[in-house]
């Protein structure tokens, strides 16, 4: 059985995306407390996340499930997304 062409994807930190770009969250790099905090905000593996606003050297506003939330750049750096 022949399969169709695979989509080219790669994984990058959320901070590498520009405004209005998004990807699928593949992993959260951090301890249980860090992961628990993000999951309470709805940020978890398998969810689509989009950057709404990037402050210069400051927080990042993201959208997940139609809700926007602000997270620190250090937290965003530890969210790995899959982009096409």
Domain coverage including residue 66: 10-83
Residue by residue, pLDDT tens for the chain (84 residues) are 445 455 557 899 999 999 999 999 999 999 999 999 999 999 999 999 999 998 888 899 999 999 999 999 999 999 999 997
pLDDT number for residue 8: 57
When divided into structural domains, the chain yields a total of 1
Q: Would residue 2 count as lying in a domain?
A: no
- pTM, full prediction: 0.85
Cα dihedral 36, 60, 53, 24 sign: negative
69, part of any domain: yes
- Look at residues 35, 71, 40 and name the one whose alpha carbon lies nearest to residue 53: 71
Supply the CATH number for residue 22's domain.
2.30.30.90
Residue 58 belongs to a domain: yes
Burial class (CB in 10 A: 0-12, 13-18, 19+), 52: middle
């Amino acid at each position: 059985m022949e399969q169709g062409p695979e989509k080219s994807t790669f994984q990058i930190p959320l901070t590498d995306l520009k405004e209005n770009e998004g990807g699928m969250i593949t992993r959260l790099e951090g301890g249980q407390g860090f992961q628990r905090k993000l999951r309470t905000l709805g940020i978890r593996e398998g969810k689509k996340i989009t950057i709404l606003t990037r402050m210069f050297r400051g927080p990042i506003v993201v959208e997940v499930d139609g809700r926007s939330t602000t997270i620190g750049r250090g937290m965003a750096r530890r969210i790995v997304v899959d982009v096409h």
